[in-house]
Structure 1
C-alpha cells in the first residue's frame, strides 16, 4: 500500500541565538562605519549627534517592541506581509509583500553586493572592471549557502555577527580608554552653515537601524516564535543601540568632532590607522567586509520567505514553483533563486542604492499601518491572552507611529519625485494582485 505523501514544511529549527544574530547582523552593515560625519554635520555638534543616535535608537526600540507584540500573536512566515494580511486584508498584505520582494529586498541585496565588490577590489587591488562580476558572484555564493538547510545560514549569521562586533568593540575600547579628545566639545567650525538640523540627523540614524524587522519573516522557522521573536527583536535592537552610541562616543573621544567633520567617511579608517597602524586599517577593512557579508546573508535568508509565503497563498505568478520546498533542505529554493536573479539584474543595470531609497517611503507607510494594528488587534480581541505585550502601552506604539510619520513627512519634503516613484512601484502590484485573484475565481 502506497504511503500518503507528506507535505514538506519549513524547518522550525532556529533558536534564540540564531534569531538574535540575524537581528543584529541585518542591522549592522556599513552605516555605523561611514555615517559618523554625516550625523554630526546635520546635528551641528557632537552632543547633538550623540542625542540623534540615542533618539534614533529609542524610536527603533519603540517600533521593535510594538512589532514584537504582533509577532507574538501572528508568528507566521512573511513578517510584515503576514501582519498586514491578518490585521487588514489580503490586498494590503499583498502590496506590502510586493514592494519588498520586487524592489526593496533585491535592491538592498544588490547595493550590499556592489559595495562589497568595491571594498574587495580596493583590498586586493582588483581592476574596477570586475566590480559587477564580483558583486554578482558574492550574491550568488551567499545565496547558495541559503539553499542548504537553514541551520547553515543561521550558523553563518552567528559567526559573522561575532566577527563584525570585533572592530566595533575595538573602536569602543580604544576610544573610551585611550582617546584624549573632548568628545562633547561644541567647537566645530563651519558645521552650522551646512547643518540639516537635528531631525535630519535622526533620520540618518533611523536608516542605520533599518533591518530589525526582517527576522520576523522567519516566523515559521523559529522555535516557539511567540516567545523567541519578541525577545530577539527587542534584545537585538537594544544591543545595536548601545553599540552605536558607544562607537560614536569612542570616535569622538579618539579624534574629536572637528576632525570627524573634516575627514567625513574616512574618519574611522583614519582612527584605525592612527591607533593600529597600516595593519589596523587592513583589519578594519576586513571587519567591514565581514559586516557587509553578514548583513547580505541575513537579507538573502529573510526576503525570499516573503515571496514563498505569498506564493503559498497563490498570490503570485508561478506560485507552484515559488512555494516549492526542497524535501531535503526544506528551503524555498526557487524563491531564493528569483530574488538573486532580480538582485543580479539590479547590480548590472540600475543604481541599487537609489532603488532601495525609493522604497523607504512606502516601507514606513506600511510600518505605520502595522503599528496601528496593535490597537486594532487589542480592540478586536480584548480577551485574548498575549504572550508578549508592548510595555507602557499606548505610549510606546504612539512613539513608533510618530517616528514613522516623521520619516514619511521628511521623505515627502526632501524627495517628492522619489515618493511618487515609490508609490508607482507599489501601484504596479495592483493589477498583478487582481489578475491572480480573478484567475482563481
Structure 2
C-alpha cells in the first residue's frame, strides 16, 4: 500500500512539473498575457484623421448650404460664414487638444468640466449630451442617410415618411451592432467611407473649378448685395454652418483609445479640420457655379441638383456617395457618443451597467446600445433646421464653458502637465464667440424653445440631487437585479479600473 501511494505521488509530481514546464515554455515562447478588461489603444493617426473628417463631412454639407444662404442673404457673406466656421472649429479643436493631452481621459467635455468645475457642470453636460445632443445628432444624420438611400426607388416624388423612418432605424441598428462588435472593424469601415466621401467631394470641387475656368462666375459678381447683417441672422447662419463642422471635438471622446495621444491628437486636428474647411468652401463655390441663390434655395437636395446639371451621364453617383457619406458620419457619431456615456457612467453619473465593457470584444456595448435606442426614438418626424438650431444652442453653451475651463486650469492647475500648450488668447476668443452664439438668437428673436432647452439642462439638477447626491437605497435595490441580468445577457463586466 505504501509503495502504491509513493508511486501515485511520484506520477502526480511529474505531471505537475510537466505542466509547470509547459506553462513556462508557453510563457517564454508566446509571452501571452491575459487580456486586460479595458478599452484598448487601437486608434492611430490615420484613423484619428478619418474619424474627424468622416464625422464632420456627413449630411451637413448637403443640407446646410440652403440654411446658411437664407440667413446671410447673399453669396459673399455665405462663403465668409463657411470660412469663419472652419476657423472657429480649428481654434476650438486646438483648445481641446490642450485639454485632451492635459487630461488623458475619454469623455471629452465631461472629463474637462469635471476636472475644472466639479461634478455638477460635468453632469449637466452629460445629461444634455447623452439624452438630447448625441442621439438627436445620430438620428438627424440617419434620417438624411435614409432620404438619399430611398430617393432612387421613388423617382419623381418624395419617399414616404414611414419608409424613411424605417430605413433610418435599420441604419442605426446596423451601426450600433458594428461598433459593439469591434473597434477595429468600425475603424476600417470609417476609413473606407471617409475615402468615399472625399472622392465625391473631390469630384464636385473639380467640376466647380472647370466651370469657373469656363467663365461661370456671374454669381460671384456683386456677391455682397442684399446681405443680411442682423445680430440674430448671422448667429443662425453660424449655427447651420457649425452643424456641418460638428465633429471637430470627436477625437477627445476616445483619448484613452488613441495610440500616442500627445502626438496623434493635435496632429489629427491640424490635418483634419483645415482639410474639411477647404473642402467646404470649394464645394459651396462649386454649387454657385451652376445655381443662382434663388435656385439653390429652391433645391430639395443641393448636391443632387448639382450632379443632375453637371454630371449628367453619371449623376447617379452623387446620391450614392452622399449615402456613403452620411452613413460614415453616423458611424463616427455612434462611436464617440458611446464613449461619452461610458465615461459618465464610470464616474457614477449614470447607471453602472453603462460603464461595463464586453468580455469578448472589449467595447462599451451597453453605452452604444443605449445611445442607439435613444436615436431610434428621435427619428420621429420633425423639422431638421429647427433641430439643428436648438442642438447648436445647447452645444455651444458647453463648448464655451469647456474652453473657459482651459482658462481656469491655466491659472489654478499649474501642476498639470501640458504637452500641447496653446496661447491663452485662443480659449478667450472661442469663449467670447460661444457667448455671442448663445445670446444672439435669444436677443434678436426670442423663442420659447430656447427657454425649454435651458430648462431641460437645468432640470438635470433634480435628477442629480435625487439619484446621485443622496444615493437612495431603493434605486440601488431596483437596479441591482436589472444590472445582473443585463450583464449575463450582454456578456459585460466592469472595466478593471472599476473592480
Calculate the TM-score normalised by the size of structure 2. Answer: 0.80
Do the aligned partners of 1:81 and 1:96 also contact (CA within 8 Å) in 2? Answer: yes
Do the aligned partners of 1:346 and 1:352 also contact (CA within 8 Å) in 2? Answer: no
Do the aligned partners of 1:24 and 1:240 also contact (CA within 8 Å) in 2? Answer: yes
Give 3-state SS (helix, strand or coil) of 1:76's partner: coil
CA RMSD of aligned residues (A): 2.8
The structure 1 segments of at least 4 consecutive aligned residues displaced by more than 6 Å after TM superposition are 187-196, 349-353
Change in CA separation of 1:195 and 1:263 when aligned onto 2, cut-off 3 Å: farther
Do the aligned partners of 1:121 and 1:127 also contact (CA within 8 Å) in 2? Answer: no
Instruction: Please name the residue that 1:405 is paired with.
Output: 435
Tell me how far apart the structure 2 counterparts of residues 193 and 94 of structure 1 sit (CA, whole Å): 37
Change in CA separation of 1:379 and 1:34 when aligned onto 2, cut-off 3 Å: same
Give 3-state SS (helix, strand or coil) of 1:325's partner: strand
The structure with more radius of gyration:
2
Instruction: Please name the residue that 1:416 is paired with.
Output: 447
| Stretch moving more, 261-270 or 219-228 | 261-270
Instruction: Please name the residue that 1:323 is paired with.
Output: 355
Tell me how far apart the structure 2 counterparts of residues 37 and 164 of structure 1 sit (CA, whole Å): 20
| Stretch moving more, 159-168 or 206-215 | 206-215
Tell me how far apart the structure 1 counterparts of residues 141 and 435 of structure 2 sit (CA, whole Å): 27
Cα deviation, residue 44, structure 1? 3.4
Do the aligned partners of 1:70 and 1:374 also contact (CA within 8 Å) in 2? Answer: yes
Instruction: Please name the residue that 1:313 is paired with.
Output: 347
Q: How does 1:156-235 map to 2 (within 5 A)?
A: 156-179=189-212, 180-182=215-217, 184-186=220-222, 198-235=234-271
Tell me how far apart the structure 2 counterparts of residues 49 and 27 of structure 1 sit (CA, whole Å): 19
Per-residue CA deviation, residues 272-323 of structure 1 (Å, 9 max, x unaligned), is 122211531x111011111110110011111111111111122223x1x211
Change in CA separation of 1:202 and 1:364 when aligned onto 2, cut-off 3 Å: closer
Do the aligned partners of 2:74 and 2:293 also contact (CA within 8 Å) in 1? Answer: no
Instruction: Please name the residue that 2:177 is paired with.
Output: 144
Tell me how far apart the structure 1 counterparts of residues 210 and 382 of structure 2 sit (CA, whole Å): 44
Give 3-state SS (helix, strand or coil) of 2:468's partner: helix
Gaps of 5+ in 1: none
Change in CA separation of 1:356 and 1:208 when aligned onto 2, cut-off 3 Å: closer
Instruction: Please name the residue that 1:340 is paired with.
Output: 372
Instruction: Please name the residue that 1:46 is paired with.
Output: 75
Alignment counterpart, residue 367 of structure 1, candidates 399, 406, 414: 399
Instruction: Please name the residue that 1:289 is paired with.
Output: 323
Alignment counterpart, residue 29 of structure 1, candidates 35, 43, 58: 58
Instruction: Please name the residue that 2:110 is paired with.
Output: 81
| Stretch moving more, 85-94 or 404-413 | 404-413
Change in CA separation of 1:191 and 1:427 when aligned onto 2, cut-off 3 Å: closer
Calculate the TM-score normalised by the size of structure 1. Answer: 0.90
Change in CA separation of 1:7 and 1:311 when aligned onto 2, cut-off 3 Å: farther
Instruction: Please name the residue that 1:107 is paired with.
Output: 136
